[in-house]
Amino acid sequence: MPRPATAPPAILRVIAVDPSLRCTGYAILDKLGGKMRAVEYGVIKNAPKLLPSACLVAIHTRLAELIQKHEPHCAAVEGIIFVQSHRIAITMGAARGAAILAMATRGLPVYEYAPRRVKQAAVGTGTAAKTQVAFMVRARLGLTETPSPDAADALAIGLAHFQAHETASHGAAVLQQV
């Protein structure tokens, strides 16, 4: 007697973003069961002479291209961090807004994760240094090179999302949409 057909396992694909006006880290990650892999990652670099408004357009445009190319199911972004300068907070908020707009206008649910939670998901402690995050992201995803700090942060945001998604699938409400 033939076996009933079973649906193929579902792959969860996320675009993760570490927003910044000049160096926005991004990552596309897949998770199938317990196996995670980086599909693409990098940094959207904006020249120092580029006007802030042009930087926001560049962030939005590049993320829209990545979403169209990779068709992620959802998006993850780093939450608001405490900064001592109002000017820096406003600039970071604008970059974050451009990223969220690119993701939300394409219908993606957008989740946010606190920086401490991102570090904890990647390294095991919320006080890890950027070099530790990059090293652990490389090890956990089996990368052949250590990613730049901004790309490593985006990869770590993706890992935090996978961890939260797994916890939520067991009944805990840990996903926070923007």
pLDDT value of position 169: 59
Rounded-to-integer distance, Cα 133 and Cα 122, Å: 6
Residue 107 reports pLDDT greater than 60:
yes
Q: Is 30 a catalytic residue?
A: no
Residue 84 has pLDDT above 80, yes or no: no
Percent of the chain with pLDDT over 90: 75
106-120 burial: b if 16+ Cβ within 10 Å, else e: eebebbbbebebbbb
* Residue 177 is assigned to a structural domain of this protein: no
Residue 85, in any domain of the structure: yes
Task: Give the residue-averaged pLDDT of 77-81.
Answer: 87
pLDDT at residue 177 is higher than 90: no
Q: State how many domains the chain has.
A: 1
* Residue 18 within any structural domain of the chain: yes
Retrieve residue 156's tokens: 């770590």
Asked, for residue 60, whether it belongs to a domain, the answer is: yes
Domain range enclosing 110: 12-168
Confirm whether 145 is a catalytic residue.
no
Q: Which of 30, 112, 150, 153 is catalytic?
A: 150
Catalytic residue among 40, 65, 71, 78: 78
pLDDT digits (tens, 9 = 90+) for 9-25: 689 999 999 999 999 99
Domain assignment present for residue 104? The answer is yes
Residue 133 belongs to a domain: yes
Which pLDDT does position 45 carry in this prediction?
98
d(CA 77, CA 66): 15
Tell me the H-state helices in 13-148: 52-70, 86-104, 115-123, 130-141
Label residue 29 by pLDDT band (50, 70, 90): very high
**CA nearest to 37, candidates 16, 13, 64:** 13
pLDDT band at 178 (very low <50, low <70, confident <90, very high): confident
Q: Is residue 97 part of a domain?
A: yes
Asked, for residue 1, whether it belongs to a domain, the answer is no
Q: Given a cut of 90, is residue 7 above it in pLDDT?
A: no
Ranking 60-69, 84-93, 137-146 by mean pLDDT, the lowest is: 84-93
pLDDT in tens, 116-151: 999 999 999 888 999 999 999 999 999 999 999 999
> Which residue of the set 18, 30, 112, 153 is catalytic?
18
Q: What is the predicted pLDDT for the residue at 4?
A: 54
- CATH code of residue 66: 3.30.420.10
